[in-house]
Structures are given as C-alpha cells and as structure tokens.
Amino acid sequence: MSETASITLNGKTLELPVITGTENEKAIDISKLRDQSGYITLDIGYKNTGATQSAITFLDGENGVLKHRGYKIEDLAEKSTFLEVAYLLIYGHLPSKEVLEKFRADIKAQMLVHEDMKIFFAGFPSKSHPMGQLSCLVGALSAFYPESLNPNQTEEEENKTIINLLGKMPTIVSWIQKKSLGHPVVYPKKDLGYIDNFMNMIFGEVNSDKTFDPVIIDAMHKLLILHADHEQNCSTSTVRIVGSSNANLYASVSAGINALWGPLHGGANQAVIEMLEDIKNDGGDVEKYLAKAKDKNDPFRLMGFGHRVYKNFDPRAKIIKKACDDILEKLGVQDPVLDIAKKLEEAALSDQYFIDRKLYPNVDFYSGIIYRALGFNSDMFTVLFALGRLPGWIAQWKEMRDKKEPIGRPRQVYNGEIDRVYTDISTR
C-alpha cells in the first residue's frame, strides 16, 4: 500500500499522497490541499517546500553529498571537464567521445558575439558592476536571436539556442573584464578549447605557443564544475519560475544572473574576499569579527559561512580548499588573506555559536582566493560563478519545459488592512 499522510482540519481528515524520491527522500504532496480543504501551506523562504521533482542534481545536506545525474561531484571535479559536465547536466547522460567532440565544436562555432551588441555595451560606465552588465547582455541576446521567443520551438531549435548561449557566455564575460581595464576585446580563436579560449580572451596569450599553464586550466575546469548546478537554489528557482511563463531561455537566464548577484547567494564570493581584506587591514584579529558575526545587533555576517541545505559540510568547499592550497603552491603565490581565511575557519569551527547553528564554510569561502591568484578582479568573481552555473540553469529550464510544468505562482496569506473607506484627497 502506498504511503500517505493524514491531516485533520476542523474534524475532517484528508489523506495526502507521499512522494518518495530515488534517493529515498520523502515529500507530502499538498498540491490538492486547497481544492479539498480551502487551506494552503505557509513556508516563507521555501525552507521546506519542494517546487518540483527533478532528475538533475541530488543533494543530501546532512551528509554532505552532491551528485549530478547520479555521478558524485568528487569524481566529476577530479576527472571530467566543464563541457562534459555541461552535456551531462543538460542531456542527462555522459556523452561518447564523438558526441562530446561535436558538442564542443558546435559551441565553439557560436562563440563570436554579434558586433552590434558592442554598441549598447559601450554605453555602460566602465565602473558599472559586471553582474549588471552580464544580465543585460544575456537578456539582449533574445533581441539578436528572436527565434528563441517561440515557446513551441522544436527540439532542434531549442538546442540551437542552448548551444548559442553556451558559446557566447564566455565571450561576453571576457568583454566585461576587458572593459573594466580599458582594453580592447579579444576575439575567440578557432584553435583553442572552451576554457583556453576564455582565458585567452581575458588575459591574452600567455605563452608563445598560445597555451596556458595546465595548472590554471585545470583549476578553471574544477571551479566551473563545482558551480555547475545546485538544484533548487535562489537563482535556479528564478530561472525555472521565469521560464515557466514561457519566457525565452535568454530572459530566464538573465533573471537567474540577477538572483545570483546578491551577497547571500553567488555574490558571497566577492563579499568573502572583501571581508578577508578588511580583517587583514584591521590587524588580522579574527576573534573581533567572530564577535561581530554573533552579535544580533550587528548586521555583519561571516560571508562564505552557512548554507540553507548543507548542515554538516559543503562537499564543494572541501574540494576547493584543497585546490586552493595546490594552486597557490604551484603558482608560487603567497596570499596573506589565505592565512586569515584559515584562522577564521578554525576559530569559527570551534565556536559554540557556529557549532550550534551548523555553520560551515561553503563553496564561496575559498573560491575567491583562487580567482584572485588567477588574476581576476573581485567584482568578476560572481560573473565566474554565473559562467559555471550556466549549464545548470539551462538543464533546469529545459527539464521544466520538457515536463510542461505549469506557470509558477505561489499563494500568500494576506495580513494587511481590510475594508478601509476611501476619502477624497481634499478631505485628508
């Protein structure tokens, strides 16, 4: 007999179906509750609400497990490449060698961005935040590829849009970095791979043979893979909910970029490095900042700490911490903020406030130190997060479309004024 949950409201008992996921997680299906009882559920911040059934990413926050399409993040970060993981997320299975080659070639063929995009891009002030520029440019792609507006695209047409966005995103990101430096943009090259091309467009040709240090390329693959998807987080839920109105992929991803920007989400990686800098410049007293983070009258939070879902450890943070040590050592970079980061982590992990609330370093705690060692400005860090998250957003948008999910539309409990009498402005 299938499991059910009973709820009794005003003496009437309703049986609600229980849904069991393939990793045995449980949910009570309340989708008919209002029709049957007139009641809705209230869950501010969706802390306990499943918005969909998804086959893309599995996350067990208690045990620090993250898998994409059934593959462990540790294996993907160690052995795979960013575009292979992108393929896996979007299409649901690992590609054969030939399929992956074609996928790479198709994406490379779309890396050039329409020259007219440069006209309005030139209008952004050079100091405007990269995330604002990125969301505008990605949204604007819909104007250059209006065929994407058709919500009834064939699979082939939809794929073209997906490939186009994957191809153009690194080029757009490189434009933004170049503008901040006042440098001319660098065009993508046919003979370079996705990441090499990206690094070349950002930093120019480092070696005479046009290759980058494999340590750097490997670090970029790792960082992007670790950010590639994270199930129904704030930006991904935004992409799905915007896409559920049949908005095109560019518009949906542009909305996701804006959601990611906030310092409580992807913007944390920039905020972490700025916080570590502040602590260093303030004499390096980590206890002082721990005290501030614990003080409820102080808005300061320890950036890069805590997670809505992980309540033991963030598996991505474990991988990144090691990658950070390896990369700094291999590149011979000595970054004093790394020492502050380690001291802060050690102090927080043995502090009762953080222990009680299960607050651990998240993926963003160490990523900024690596990005900085690679030569990126701190306001570019969240843009790099977006580049990594792109395949996840696309996969989630596509899954929602393929399953023909209904438009997202939460309810509310109204608690405002009722039945006020309108008076003319002259009598007020």
Q: Is 285 a catalytic residue?
A: no
Site residues for ligand CMC, window 235-294 (CB under 6 A)? 264-266, 268, 293
Least Å distance, CB 350 to ligand CMC, is 15
Q: Does 392 bind ligand CMC (CB under 6 A)?
A: no
Per DSSP, the residues of 202-220 read HH---STTS---HHHHHHH
Give the number of other CB atoms < 10 A from CB of residue 321: 20
Give the number of other CB atoms < 10 A from CB of residue 284: 16
* 197 vs 362 by CB, closer to ligand CMC: 362
The one catalytic residue among 196, 314, 364, 379 = 364
From 258, 216, 263, select the one nearest 372 (Cα to Cα): 216
Joined together, the tokens standing for residue 416 give 């405002």
How far apart CA 13 and CA 10 sit, in angstroms, is 8
How far apart CA 397 and CA 383 sit, in angstroms, is 20
Joined together, the tokens standing for residue 182 give 């006042």
Site residues for ligand CMC, window 304-333 (CB under 6 A)? 304-308
286-314 residues labelled b (16+ CB within 10 A) or e (exposed): beebbeebbeeeeeebbbbbbbebbbebb
Q: Which of 148, 161, 233, 248 binds ligand CMC (CB under 6 A)?
A: 233
Q: Which amino acid is present at 185?
A: V
Q: Is 218 a catalytic residue?
A: no
* 158 vs 364 by CB, closer to ligand CMC: 364
Q: Which of 59, 303, 383, 400 binds ligand CMC (CB under 6 A)?
A: 303
> Within a 13 Å sphere around the CA of 244, how many CA atoms are in the beta-carbon half?
17
Q: Which residues pair with 20 in a beta bridge?
A: 26
Phi/psi at 18 (5° precision): -105, 130
Q: Which of 69, 129, 230, 240 binds ligand CMC (CB under 6 A)?
A: 230
Burial class (CB in 10 A: 0-12, 13-18, 19+), 49: middle
| Total residues in contact with ligand CMC, by rule CB under 6 A | 20
Q: Does 357 bind ligand CMC (CB under 6 A)?
A: yes
* 171 vs 367 by CB, closer to ligand CMC: 367
* 266 vs 391 by CB, closer to ligand CMC: 266
Q: Does 55 bind ligand CMC (CB under 6 A)?
A: no
- Residue tagged 């989630």 (tokens): 396
- Residue tagged 């186009």 (tokens): 164
| x/- letters, 184..223, toward ligand CMC (CB under 6 A) | ----------------------------------------
Q: Does 302 bind ligand CMC (CB under 6 A)?
A: yes
Least Å distance, CB 356 to ligand CMC, is 8
Least Å distance, CB 303 to ligand CMC, is 5
Please give the biggest Cα pair distance in the chain.
80
* 115 vs 356 by CB, closer to ligand CMC: 356
Which residue lies nearest ligand CMC, judged by its C-beta?
Answer: 306
The one catalytic residue among 265, 307, 314, 379 = 307
Which residues are identified as catalytic? 307, 364
**Residues contributing to the site for ligand CMC (CB under 6 A):** 230, 233, 264-266, 268, 293, 301-308, 357, 359, 362-364
